[in-house]
Amino acid sequence: MHKLRAWFLLPARLVNFVCFVVPLCIVLAYSLLSRGVYGGVEQPWTFENYRRLVDPLYLGIFLRSFWIAGLATLLCLVLGFPLAWFIARSSVRRRTLYLNLVMIPFWTSFLVRTYAWMFLLRDTGLINTVLLATGIIAEPLPLLYNNGAVLLGLVYGYLPFLVLPVYTSLEKIDLSMMEAAADLGARPITAFWQVVVPMAKPGMRAGSILVFISCIGTYLTPDLLGGSKTIMIGNVVQNQFTAARDWPFGAACSLLLMGLVMLFLRSDEL
Amino acid sequence: MAAILELRGVSRHYPGHRAVHNVSLEVESGAFYSILGPSGCGKTTTLRLIAGFDEPTSGDILLDGKPLQNVPAFERPVNTVFQRYALFPHLTVEGNVEFGLRRRGVRDCKTKVAEALEMVHLTGKEKRMPSQLSGGEQQRVALARSLVLEPRVLLLDEPLSALDPALRKSVRAELKALQRRTGITFVFITHDQEEALSLSDRIAVMNKGEVEQIGSPQDIYVRPATPFVATFLGDVNWIDDASKLGVRPEATRIGRESPGNGARIESGQVRQSVFLGHCFHVETETSRGRIVAEAAQPFAAGENVFVWWHAADEMRFHA
Amino acid sequence: MRNGKWIAAYAAAAYLFLHVPLLVLAVFSFNASKFTVWQGFSLQWYAQIFENDQLLESTWNSLVIALASTVLATAIGTLCAYGIWKRKAPVLSGSLYLSLVTPEIVTGISLLALFQWSFRFLGLQLGMHTVILAHVAFCLAYVVITVLARLRTFDASLEEAALDLGATPWQAFRLVTLPAILPGVIAAALLAFTVSIDDYVITSLVAGVDSETLPMVVYQMARRGVSPVVNAISTLIVLGLGVLILVSERLQQR
């Protein structure tokens, strides 16, 4: 029995080791090496790449990434909680439908969903076209390629990440508890804060962490909706490995991202 | 007769928990052997050790005198009827019954399957899926599936507990008849003392992972070795405070006048009479405490009465 | 306590927010005009998809990659989930979970680093094989999680019954456990297929000249500017993947 189990786990262990653990170790090694003359890496070993992470140029990008990811998480929480509440309070038969309506667009193409916002927000996009045609504005509004567009794309992209866990914890709340609270003299708003919010906290925390780590590591959204104006850590990583040909620094940025993700995951366990 | 199955000092210890501790028992060939105990007493673990789903931490299990250690479950000539039957939901009745035969490479299993199904009165339901069967029928498929392999020992894990109570008695009789007919040794796990008493040739009573007593049904009912066995198998009137001396209500008589012969006699007052169908249980308050007696007619609460029993019916324990 | 009017109105607005952008995209893929002004119904952009060799070729590549990586990831992931279900494998589970939450860009560049480094010794180049390997690696965690969820509802005594009746552990898995969890395995495969065929970030980093995928072409076209052809291909992608996901959800709930 144990022998069979070992054989069953072997291919997965192999794939995970070769395609996840080893690559991360190589990135770790790269981050401690120097930039090669023609790209790639060279000796000597150095901590220089980590020191450069606090360069004002990059520090600004990192801080903005934090700020945008944090704000997107907050918005997802504020916008997603009522939706999760609505689904959890629907009749059991409708819940699956309502949940699927959130999850199905989520699982279809992320790229296409980001593109949809380009289509809407461009100077010649639908929103500007309509506003111009109706005479509300005379010049197209600069809707795309700014922080706001990135924020919108992130909220749109990751809202379901929040709705699902919050829904799961709200679904477990027995409504008779709200009634019991009312029976004991609590007003609805008090009952909500005293009963529902504490019960939903695990879901809210798990959902927020998922949204935050997805946003902080995002690449595609700022790339397409932020253009060259709003870049985030993910774009710095990509740029170092392609155009800038500074692999060691790109590797250091990657590990910074990994560190952040793991830090926030750990905070869920505490 | 020789023991077909023997457990010698078998223990299964988990970190911080002794599921089974130092269990020794011998099952004779062709016997209906019950392991009786409350839930969590280690009886199911014992069965899983015999079946080979779990390994003892110490001790030996011998089948036909040969140790079963390191023999995997699928090579043991022992089969199990599971508590919830564990029928394969994607196979028909026939598919379930021939599953084991196919694993043994039996070519022509049709006749054997037909015989097994006839034995449990399921002829004609070969093509049904388990989900289309009643609980009783599912149980019989589970039996047929194991019996068709003619195991040395058939293990039954509370096979009646998933049935509704109305069915249990008739299935019980069928089970006993089946065991007689096939001559296969049954090891039957149950927490129901009535089941154990009515079916078994021998009973091992387990409590907290250990065997408390092994004996025939009459033995353990009439001469329980420990207070636990006495109370688990039936009601007991404790004559003293330390649970050293007891007598069963059905051995206790009651009357308005003292019998005046050599019996042990106590005087008391009736608290209440409870009608049980075939008799009344009359609860009395005596100087020895609460004593229940069996009677043909009820007594009024508050009546002054005498209760008595014979010394031979007393159960004595050494604490 | 039912949902009040306000919360229902809010939910309606939220659903509009989630679905309108895609609906608008779909509507304008049938627009006769190249511009975002409605000028009548036309299927010309869909016709153009089939005249665009780059789109067709990349779609073919995407299908081959997604199929190959789905088969591999589903096989490996199902075995792995079974192993973890039998007895916990905390290091492997933790590593798989971490691979699921690792930012795609980090996964992409680390795989690129691996391939660049090892190919110096092996004399290989980036291509279909590297893309498929990368996809197997990141689809694996999705498969394991989905199959594991199904296994948690599986009655372990069925497998013991199989062993009891003389099946070897392998036979018990193949003849009893696998048929019972098959809906979960198929759901996992559909999910892996969706995740694989949609991936842009990792694929674009590890693809070679012969392995340009559909998302890569869509990305390039989107960068160049909005075009009704992109709307058309996007609509097809969303519809296709939407159906797969719906089937997968159904299977998981069964």
Total number of domains constituting chain B: 2
CB contact under 8 A, B84 and C157: yes
Give residue-wise pLDDT tens across range B287-298: 888 899 999 888
On whether the CB atoms of residues A120 and A152 are closer than 8 A, the answer is no
| Minimum distance, in Å, between the CA of residue C169 and any CA atom of chain A | 6
Among chain A residues, the shortest Cα distance to C249 is held by: A100
Whether residue C1 has pLDDT greater than 80: no
Contact B72 C160 (CB under 8 A): no
Contacts of C165 in chain B (CB under 8 A): 74, 79, 99-100, 103, 145-146, 149
Do β-strands B202-207 and B17-28 pair in parallel, antiparallel, or remain unpaired?
Answer: unpaired
Residue C121 pLDDT level (bands cut at 50, 70, 90) = confident
Do B8 and B138 fall into the same domain? yes
Q: Which residue of A has its CA nearest to C85?
A: A5
Which of residues B198, B227, B256 is at a domain's end? B227
pLDDT at residue C3, as a whole number: 61
Comparing CB atoms, the residue among C157, C158, C164 nearest residue B73 is C164
Q: Convert the pLDDT of each residue in A51-72 to its tens digit.
A: 888 888 899 899 999 999 999 9
* pLDDT in the model for residue C120: 80
Angle at B255 between CA B254 and CA B259, to 5 degrees: 100
Q: Does A33 touch chain C (CB under 8 A)?
A: no
Q: Other CB atoms closer than 10 Å to residue A262's CB: what's the count?
A: 14
Distance from CA of A219 to the nearest CA of C (A): 7
> How many CB pairs below 8 A link B and C?
63
Query: Chain B residues with CB inside 8 Å of C161's CB?
Result: 80, 82, 86-88
**Chain C residues with beta carbon closer than 8 angstroms to that of B82:** 157, 160-161
Nearest CA in chain A to C140: A12
User: Chain A, 136-155: which have a CB under 8 Å from a chain C CB?
Assistant: none
| Cβ contact A208:A73 at 8 Å | yes
Q: How confident is the model at residue B58 (pLDDT cuts 50, 70, 90)?
A: very high
% of chain B surpassing 70 pLDDT: 99
The alpha-helical segments, DSSP class H, found in chain C are: 5-28, 44-49, 53-86, 90-101, 104-122, 128-151, 156-164, 169-172, 178-198, 201-206, 214-224, 228-253
- Number of Cβ within 10 Å of residue B276's Cβ equals 10
Chain C residues within an 8 Å CB radius of B74: 163-169, 172
Cβ-nearest to C194 among A89, A107, A237 = A107
Do C180 and B90 count as a contact with CB atoms less than 8 A apart? yes
H helix or E strand, kind and range, residue A268 = helix A247-269
A207: enclosing H helix or E strand: helix A197-216
pLDDT tens digits for range A103-149: 888 888 899 999 999 988 888 888 888 888 888 888 888 888 888 99
Residue in chain C nearest B150 by alpha carbon: C165
Mean pLDDT, to the nearest integer, of B241-263? Answer: 83
Q: Would you state the pLDDT for residue A45?
A: 87
At residue B157, does pLDDT exceed 80? yes
Same domain, B240 and B310: yes
Overall fold of domain A54-269: MetI-like fold (1.10.3720)
> Are residue B106 and residue B73 in the same domain, yes or no?
yes
Tell me what pLDDT residue A268 has: 63
> Does residue B295 sit in the same domain as residue B199?
no
Q: What is the pLDDT of residue A36?
A: 79
Q: Are residues B29 and B139 in the same domain?
A: yes
Helix A147-171 vs helix A110-121: angle between axes, to the nearest 10 degrees? Answer: 130
Contacts of C229 by beta carbon, 8 Å cutoff, 6+ apart? C45, C48, C49, C52, C55, C221
Task: Work out the minimum CA distance from C67 to partner chain A, whole angstroms.
Answer: 17
Mean pLDDT of chain A: 87
* Same domain flag for B164 and B280: no
Q: In the prediction, which pLDDT does B1 show?
A: 53
Q: Does residue B158 contact residue B113 with C-beta atoms inside 8 Å?
A: no
In chain C, the residue whose alpha carbon lies closest to the alpha carbon of B100 is C165
Nearest neighbour of B79 by CB, restricted to C155, C157, C164: C164
> Which of A103-107, A221-225, A246-250, B234-238 comes out lowest in average pLDDT?
A103-107
Judge whether residue B77 has pLDDT over 90.
yes
B-chain residues within 8 Å CB-CB of C254? none
Strands (E), A8-104: 34-35, 41-42
CATH code for position B52: 3.40.50.300
C39 interfacial to chain B (CB closer than 8 Å): no
Segment A191-201, tens digit of pLDDT: 778 778 888 89
Q: Determine what percent of chain C is predicted with pLDDT higher than 90.
A: 61
- The pLDDT score that the predictor gives to residue C181 is 94
Q: Is A32 at the interface with chain C, CB within 8 A? A: no
The residue count for chain B: 319
A101 touching chain C per CB within 8 A:
yes
> Average pLDDT, stretch A219-226?
91
> Which pair of tokens denotes residue B248?
């069963």
Cβ-contact A152, A225 below 8 angstroms: yes
Residues of chain A with C-beta less than 8 angstroms from the C-beta of C19: 101, 105
For C103, the closest of A5, A98, A257 (CB atoms) is A257
* A105 contacts in chain C (CB < 8 Å): 18-19, 22, 238, 242
Q: Name which of C161, C168, C169 is nearest B86 (Cβ-Cβ).
A: C161
Per-residue model confidence (pLDDT) at position B50: 95
Q: Which helix (H) or strand (E) holds A212?
A: helix A197-216
CATH number at residue B298: 2.40.50.140
Sorting pLDDT into bands at 50, 70 and 90, what band is B283?
very high
For residue A180, pLDDT over 80 is answered with no
Count residue pairs from A and C with Cβ separation < 8 A.
243
Strands B202-207 and B32-36 come out as parallel
Instruction: Find out whether A261 and A213 touch, Cβ atoms under 8 Å.
Output: yes
Question: Which of A17-26, A30-39, C125-134 shows the lowest mean pLDDT across its residues?
Answer: A30-39
Percentage of chain A with pLDDT > 70? 97
User: For C82-109, b where at least 16 C-beta lie within 10 A, e where not — what string?
Assistant: bbbbbeebeebbebbebbebbbbbbbbb
pLDDT one-digit tens code per residue, C214-224: 999 999 988 88
Whether residue A269 is predicted with pLDDT greater than 70 in this model: the reply is no
d(CA A18, CA C117): 13
- Last residue of one domain, picked from the residues B208, B227, B246: B227
Let me know whether B29 and B168 are in one domain. Answer: yes
* Annotated domain spans of chain A: 54-269
Residue C2 confidence class, pLDDT cut points 50, 70, 90? low
Statement to judge: residues B218 and B268 lie in one domain: no
Residues of C in contact with A90 (CB under 8 A): 3
Tens digits of per-residue pLDDT, B114-131? 999 999 999 999 999 999
Query: Could you tell me if residue A260 is left (phi over 0), alpha (psi between -120 and 50 degrees) or otherwise beta?
Result: alpha
Whether B42 shows a pLDDT value over 80: the answer reads yes
Cβ neighbours for C166, distance < 8 A, ≥ 6 positions apart: B74, B75, B100, B103, B104, B149
Please tell me which of the candidates C22, C111, C241 has its beta carbon nearest to residue A23: C111
Higher pLDDT, B58 or A185: B58
In the stretch 159-178 of chain A, residues with CB closer than 8 A to chain C read: 159, 175, 178
Contact: C19, A115; criterion CB under 8 Å? no
Give tens-digit pLDDT for C152-173.
Answer: 999 999 999 999 999 999 999 9
Residues B154, B187, single domain; the answer is yes
Which chains lie within 8 Å of chain B at 3 or more CB pairs, if any? C
CA B276 – CA B44 distance, rounded (Å): 33
Mean pLDDT computed over A33-42: 79
Domain check: are B159 and B283 in the same one?
A: no
Please say if the pLDDT value at position C254 is more than 90: no
Mean pLDDT, chain B, rounded, equals 91
Residue B304 has pLDDT above 70, yes or no: yes
Which residue, B161, B196, B227, sits at the end of a domain?
B227
Confidence of residue B262 (pLDDT cuts 50, 70, 90): low
Tell me the chain C residues in contact with residue A30 when contact means C-beta distances shorter than 8 Å: 113
pLDDT of residue C248: 86
Asked if C140 has any chain B CB less than 8 Å from its own CB, the reply is no
Q: Which of C157, C165, C169 is closest, CB to CB, to B100?
A: C165
Residues B166 and B310 in one domain: no
Nearest to A170 by CA among A60, A263, A90: A90
User: Is residue C134 pLDDT above 80, yes or no?
Assistant: yes
Instruction: Tell me the pLDDT tens digit for each residue of C85-98.
Output: 998 899 999 999 99
Please check the confidence at residue B11 and state whether its pLDDT lies above 60.
yes
Query: A41: pLDDT confidence band, cut at 50, 70 and 90?
Result: confident
The complex's ipTM works out to 0.88
- The mean pLDDT of C129-150, rounded to a whole number, is 94
List chains touching C (3+ CB pairs under 8 A): A, B
Closest residue in chain B to residue C160, using alpha carbons only = B53
| pLDDT more than 90, % of chain B | 68
Element at B316 (helix H, strand E): strand B315-316
DSSP code at position B128: -
Residue B74 and residue C166: Cβ atoms within 8 Å?
yes
Are B14 and B80 in a shared domain? yes
Q: For C181, name the nearest residue in chain B, comparing CA atoms only.
A: B90
In this predicted structure, the answer to whether residue B47 has a pLDDT above a threshold of 70 is yes
- The sheet with strand B237-238 has its strands ordered as B237-238, B245-247, B315-316
Domain that holds residue B243: 235-316
State the smallest CA–CA distance between residue C72 and chain A in angstroms: 10
Gap between the Cα atoms of B47 and C128, Å rounded = 54
Instruction: Please tell me the distance in Å from C173's CA to the nearest CA on chain B.
Output: 12
Q: Quick one: closest CA in C to B153, which residue?
A: C164
- Which chain A residues contact residue C112 at CB under 8 A? 241
Task: Tell me whether residues B53 and C161 touch, CB distance under 8 A.
Answer: no
Of A1, A40, A254, the CB nearest to C106: A254
For the segment A87-104, the average pLDDT, to the nearest whole number, is: 88
A150 has a pLDDT exceeding 80: yes
Can you tell me the distance from the alpha carbon of C105 to that of C111, in angstroms, rounded to the nearest whole number?
10
